[in-house]
Structure formats: structure tokens, C-alpha cells
Amino acid sequence: MADPILKLDDLSKNFGALPVTRHVSLEVMPGEIHAVIGPNGAGKTTLINQISGVLKPDRGRVLFAGQDVTRLGVAARARLGLARIFQISSVVAGFSAQENVALAAQAKAGSSFRFLKPARADRVIEEKAAESLAAVGLARRADVAAALLSHGEKRALELAMALVQAPRIVLLDEPMAGTGKAETERLTELLAGLRGRLPMLLIEHDMATVFALADRITVLVEGAVAASGSPEAIRNDPVVRRAYLGEDAHA
């Protein structure tokens, strides 16, 4: 069996006397979409902050592609290919969609194009940006200023900005927050189209999205893993239904 791309090993974190992450262990396999769900205050954001490097755990380890990254900061983890999107937008409103993606490509490329002539390097970046925009269905909106894109299109743009940097995993922090029904469906389809190619760790309150996308679901309750398994197993888990989905849940 393949090695996990991301592995959390006995992660624990307290805020003062309050334990917010309790001995959390989970794995994301290559190509897998792994959703983490749980009621408000369950510790999902705190967990994702420890994965991206914003917060350091009190104990336990974060392993990324086999490497212990527990002590690395956000930038170092991002350089290794750990991308986090949707919580903090890095879109420049006055730039076109294409320019935003080109900027992201350039940031990632850094000095790696230094052997190319500048004009050639620019062309490579423009090509990569156009490919990423096409991958999220924004090819025809390439020249539109980001400020003029719809909310859903902005989300797609942020995804394109992540994709152009060729991440090895994407952490999706409530991608559907603030999006309408039609946009949620379109974004869900977009993410489903990446299934198998790009592993994702998804935190999301919208259960329709979670059950449409996830290969595996981990349920956090009061900072601890209450259950983990296939969507089918989670849907039918009596403990989960009581603690989180609600007995009458039809998700």
C-alpha cells in the first residue's frame, strides 16, 4: 500500500487549560479527499492551523510526504507543496484573473527560471497560468479583473492560484462558506474533477458537499476523533448521528 502524503500522529494542543486537539491521528492517502467534520468549536480550524504551520502542537507530529514538518513554519511547509486555500484570500482585486495566477506561478517559480531568458520565462508562466485557469473553468474570464468576478469565480480563481504552484496536497478550509447553492454545486463539481490527481484535506460544514466529495470522513468532537471511515460508515454510525449529524439527519 502507498505511503500517506499527510499523517498526523497523536497531535494534541491546549489553549490554556482547554484541550482543543486531543491525540488526533489521521492519514491522507495519495489522491484521497479526506473530510474533517464536527460541530462548531470541535477544533477543526485549530487542527488545520497545526497542519499548515500557523500553530505548533503541544505534542505529536505532522508528517508530510514522509518528512517530519512539525517544527517547520508556514512558508517552509508551503514550499514543500502543502497548500492551504480559501481562508485567507491572496487575490489582488485590481489584477485580472490571468495576472493573479501568473503572480502565484511567479512566486512559486522563484529562481527556478533563472536559466531561461526573461521573455521565455514570462511565456512559460503565462502558459502555466492559462492552463490553471482552464482547469477551473475560468479560461474565458482570464482578462476580467478579480474584483469583478462572482464569489464562486473568485473561489475558482483561488483554486487556480493554488494549482499553478503544483501542490502535493491542498488544505481546503470551508470552501463553500458564503457561496450560494448554484455556486456550491459548481465548486463541488470542480473539486470532484480533481479527485485522484490531488489529495485534499477538506473542512466543510455543508454536508451535501462533504458527502459528495469525501473518500473518507473523520469526525471531531471536542477535539478528539469520534469516528473515521467511509462516508457510508459515517452516515450510519450511531455515535456520529447522535453527537453531530442529529438523529434525523438525512445527509
Ligand X SMILES: Nc1ncnc2c1ncn2[C@@H]1O[C@H](COP(=O)(O)OP(=O)(O)OP(=O)(O)O)[C@@H](O)[C@H]1O
Q: Which stretch binds ligand X (CB under 6 A): 41-49, 70-78, 112-120, 179-187?
A: 41-49
Q: Which is nearer to ligand X, 49 or 132 (CB)?
A: 49
Q: Which stretch binds ligand X (CB under 6 A): 37-45, 91-99, 142-150, 164-172?
A: 37-45
User: What's the full length of the chain, in residues?
Assistant: 251
Question: Given 3-state DSSP classes, what are the helix, strand and coil percentages for the chain, each rounded to the nearest 5?
Answer: 40, 25, 35
Tell me the per-residue interface mask from 85 to 124 with ligand X, x by CB under 6 A, - otherwise. Answer: ----------------------------------------
Among 46, 70, 98, 228, binds ligand X (CB under 6 A): 46
Judged by CB under 6 A, does residue 43 bind ligand X? yes
Q: Which is nearer to ligand X, 153 or 204 (CB)?
A: 204
Judged by CB under 6 A, does residue 45 bind ligand X? yes
Minimal distance, residue 26 CB to ligand X, in Å = 15
Q: How far is CA 27 from CA 21, 78, 113, 217, in A?
A: 16, 19, 34, 11
**DSSP notation for 45-97:** HHHHHHHHTSS--SEEEEEETTEE-TT--HHHHHHTTEEEESSS----TTSBH
Judged by CB under 6 A, does residue 8 bind ligand X? no
Closest to 60 in 3D by CA, of 14, 95, 2, 9: 9
Judged by CB under 6 A, does residue 180 bind ligand X? no
Joined together, the cell numbers standing for residue 25 give 491521528
Q: Which is nearer to ligand X, 36 or 200 (CB)?
A: 36
C-beta of residue 28 within 8 angstroms of C-beta of residue 4: yes
Interacting residues with ligand X (CB under 6 A): 15, 18, 20, 38, 40-46
